[in-house]
Amino acid sequence: MPITDSDDLSIEFARAIDAASPLREHRERFVFADDTIYLDGNSLGRLPRRTSQRLREVIDTEWGRDLIRSWPTWIARHDDVAAALATGVLGVRPSEVTIADSTTVNLYKVINAAADLRPGRSVILIERDNFPTDLYVVQGIAKARGMSVRVVDSDIDGGLSVEQVRSALDDDVALACFCHVSYRSGAIADIEQITGVLHEAGAVAVWDLCHSAGAIRTPLAQARAEFAVGCTYKYLNSGPGAPAFLYVREDLHDQVRQPIWGWFGQREQFAMGGDYDPVEGIARFTSGTPAVLGLSAIEEGVRSITDAGIDELEQGGRLLTGYGLVLADSWLAPLGFTVASPRAASRRGSHLTLHHRQAWQICQAMIARGVVPDFRTPDRLRLGMAPLTTSFEEVWRGFDAIREIVETDEHLQFPAERARVT
């Protein structure tokens, strides 16, 4: 049941919603530091309590005591965690997902593989407001392969539409690389319809799931999308720098090769042969040795999502961002804020973006108060409401802090220009 502007906007109302939430018991499994109001779970998820213990087991016992004898355990864990991520988070077959490298490296792998599937075509399609690493990887691959990049001018707040994609397609487009959820506005792209339009034009679909995996359903199987990638340190709560994942539709495994050949993708790995012969299945998209500590953190992060259930999380995220929308309209619109995310819950991921001409200064004032948001150009506050860990009270307190900061001009003590972040 959506929250409307006729509902009680008191903190007691927020607490009552939290008390009735089916996600409440799951929230208690995470570390909450001091009195920080954390509205940036779409950048880095909170730490599951179990992860600290799990990593200590890996360090002290599996590594410290058992040393190299733990490799069979670690390899089996890699396959098990990838399978759990596939079925419990992405809704695809266990055989279609592997965990490896970073999102950027995995993009490089799957975009090259996608281009190989359409050798007679020379154009890569991408949205202008795609995440920068996607743009850079596409530009680099196009330059190396003698291809060209065609940019779709989607709406910075409303996101990518089916018709915008359709109008950009022709017989030269080999593949398209799009984000399921816009990193800036939270707008959801329709995976099923857009993939269908790409297939009608003979193009291959590559989806970036970084801002959707673990927060909303990702209908890759229903769309029959060919490829996807994503990170694990946002809604999957696997920690900074945790390895990424990639998805390749099963019927394509024997048709494609990825460009980074390494010994973990090699058939008869320990024969130490001199010529590369890729193993069958999704494992051919691996290259080097798995990052065991990161993998073990992913295990706990994925468990936190699958225990809660992706349907419950999607609904929880819609309620949280919808509540934020009501607070923004009631409290912040009179102070010069506008909503820079889709208003329809079905078109919005699990973060809400607000536009204000002094957003950078407001962001710094919030951080100084212990309220952690995110800033994105141009002049936008991005407020991540991770459905597994963010409470309605936390949203209330965060928006109340924004209101008080702007009403008292507290933000004006901070520089108007954004400093370079390295």
297 and 326 share one domain:
no
Structure-token match 């990593």, residue found: 55
Contact between 210 and 177 (Cβ < 8 Å): no
194 and 299 share one domain:
yes
pLDDT at 97: 98
Which CATH number fits the domain that encloses residue 382?
3.90.1150.10
Which CATH number fits the domain that encloses residue 67?
3.40.640.10
Nearest to 207 by CA among 197, 196, 216, 220: 220
Nearest to 30 by CA among 393, 395, 388, 384: 388
145 and 199 share one domain:
yes
The answer to whether position 370 is within a domain reads yes
Q: Is 382 a catalytic residue?
A: yes
pLDDT at 421: 42
**Catalytic annotation, pick one of 233, 235, 247, 264:** 233
pLDDT at 31: 96
Using alpha carbons only, what angle is made at residue 95 by residues 89 and 101, rounded to the nearest 5 degrees? 70
Q: Is 101 a catalytic residue?
A: no
pLDDT at 422: 32
Provide the 3-class DSSP secondary structure of residue 394.
helix
pLDDT at 420: 44
The answer to whether position 1 is within a domain reads no
**Catalytic annotation, pick one of 40, 129, 208, 374:** 208
Domain of residue 188 covers 52-307
pLDDT at 8: 84
Domains in the chain, number:
2
pLDDT at 22: 93
* Angular region, 239: left φ>0, alpha ψ -120 to 50, beta rest: left
pLDDT at 33: 81
pLDDT at 5: 62
> Which residues lie below 8 Å from residue 201, measured CB to CB, with a gap of 6+?
169, 170, 171, 173
Q: Is 208 a catalytic residue?
A: yes
Residue where one domain finishes, among candidates 307, 324, 346: 307
234 and 317 share one domain:
no
End-to-end CA distance of the chain: 42
71 and 177 share one domain:
yes
Nearest to 237 by CA among 18, 40, 17, 25: 40
- Distance between CA atoms of 209 and 111, rounded to whole angstroms? 14
Structure-token match 């946002």, residue found: 234
Helices (H) and strands (E) in the chain, counts: 13, 13
Residue where one domain finishes, among candidates 254, 278, 307: 307
Q: Is 143 a catalytic residue?
A: no
Residue where one domain finishes, among candidates 250, 284, 307: 307
CA neighbours within 13 Å on the CB side: how many for 280? 1
298 and 399 share one domain:
no
pLDDT at 210: 98
**Catalytic annotation, pick one of 27, 249, 284, 382:** 382
Nearest to 78 by CA among 307, 299, 269: 299
262 and 363 share one domain:
no
Does the global pTM surpass 0.75? yes
- Distance between CA atoms of 349 and 317, rounded to whole angstroms? 7
Q: Is 131 a catalytic residue?
A: yes
pLDDT at 356: 98
Residues 5-25 have pLDDT tens digits of 656 899 999 999 999 999 999
**Strand-strand pairing, 227-230 and 123-127:** unpaired
**Catalytic annotation, pick one of 27, 46, 184, 234:** 234
Enter the DSSP assignment of 40: B
Contact between 375 and 360 (Cβ < 8 Å): yes
349 and 393 share one domain:
yes
Residues of the chain scoring pLDDT < 70: 1-7, 418-422
- Beta strand spans in 197-268 (E): 204-208, 227-230, 245-248
**Catalytic annotation, pick one of 131, 227, 392, 399:** 131
